[in-house]
């Protein structure tokens, strides 16, 4: 894993330190990376089990087996810890498909989203982080960055399709990828419609048709 602040004091006084670097601003290695991995794993477990509103840095330190000062100094608030967790999730996400067909690439993207949201751990973790983003500005910004990273990762598939002549010149690649996932998250958060491959394929077909028709141009 990469990113995160680079010092790991082991005192245990539990007091936040003002002016701590923003998570992700310094790349750690060695013990620092192992501490970050343990803390982020503990934070993910706590979010899945209890939700964002009960996320407690002292409890995260206990779960991770590290000093409280380490956690307070490097993250400072539950929101910044959640933000770093999202940064890590973006880094760990699977790369985009490059099948040579826009329809197949978008289908792969949609099915990956569905698989992630249906995963017993990942799905509950996303729900907790989405809930956090509704009440905390830092969590909201982190969630926006996460989706920006994932959209940019898959936007290259649309750019390649434009080069092959599958979609009109000037197609907005990011808008196409967003159009794939939007109905899936709508089903997750609003309608309760089953998240399955049929829904994923329908979302991919709709986005592909809109792109080919020029409806998603810049």
Residue-wise pLDDT tens digits, 51-108: 888 899 999 999 999 999 999 999 999 988 988 888 888 777 777 889 999 999 999 9
pLDDT at 5: 35
SS3 171: strand
Cα 84-26-67 angle, rounded to 5 deg: 65
What is the pLDDT at residue 29?
59
Tens-place pLDDT, residues 41-54 = 999 999 989 888 88
DSSP 170: T
Cβ burial, residue 145 (10 Å; 0-12/13-18/19+): middle
Confidence at residue 12, expressed as pLDDT on a 0 to 100 scale: 38
**209 vs 216: CA distance, rounded Å:** 10
Q: What is the pLDDT of residues 7-45, one digit of tens each?
A: 333 333 333 333 444 444 444 558 889 999 999 999 999
3-state secondary structure 3-34: CCCCCCCCCCCCCCCCCCCCCCCCCCCCHHHH
Residues 142 and 163: their CA atoms lie apart, in Å, by: 32
Q: What is the mean pLDDT of the chain?
A: 85
For residue range 114-167, what is the model confidence (pLDDT) as tens digits?
999 998 888 888 888 888 888 888 888 889 988 998 999 999 999 999 999 999
Which residues fall within 8 angstroms of residue 11, CB to CB, at 6 or more apart?
Answer: 67, 69
Distance, CA of 218 to CA of 211 (rounded, Å): 11
């Amino acid at each position: 894993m990469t990113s995160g602040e680079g010092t790991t004091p082991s005192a245990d006084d539990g007091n936040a330190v003002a002016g701590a670097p923003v998570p992700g601003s310094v790349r750690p290695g060695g013990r620092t990376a192992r501490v970050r991995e343990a803390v982020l794993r503990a934070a993910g477990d706590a979010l899945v089990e209890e939700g964002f509103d009960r996320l407690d840095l002292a409890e995260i330190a206990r779960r991770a087996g590290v000093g409280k000062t380490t956690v307070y100094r490097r993250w400072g608030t539950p929101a910044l810890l959640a933000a770093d967790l999202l940064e890590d999730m973006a880094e760990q996400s699977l790369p985009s498909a490059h099948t040579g067909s826009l329809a197949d690439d978008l289908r792969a993207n949609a099915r990956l989203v569905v698989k992630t949201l249906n995963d017993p751990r990942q799905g509950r973790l996303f729900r907790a982080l989405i809930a956090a983003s509704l009440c905390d500005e830092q969590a909201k910004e982190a969630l926006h960055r996460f989706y920006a990273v994932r959209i940019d990762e898959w936007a290259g598939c649309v750019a390649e399709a434009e080069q092959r002549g599958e979609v009109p010149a000037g197609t907005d690649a990011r808008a196409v990828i967003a159009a794939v996932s939007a109905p899936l998250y709508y089903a997750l958060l609003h309608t309760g419609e089953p998240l399955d491959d049929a829904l994923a394929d329908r979302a991919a077909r709709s986005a592909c048709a809109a792109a080919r028709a020029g409806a998603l141009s810049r």
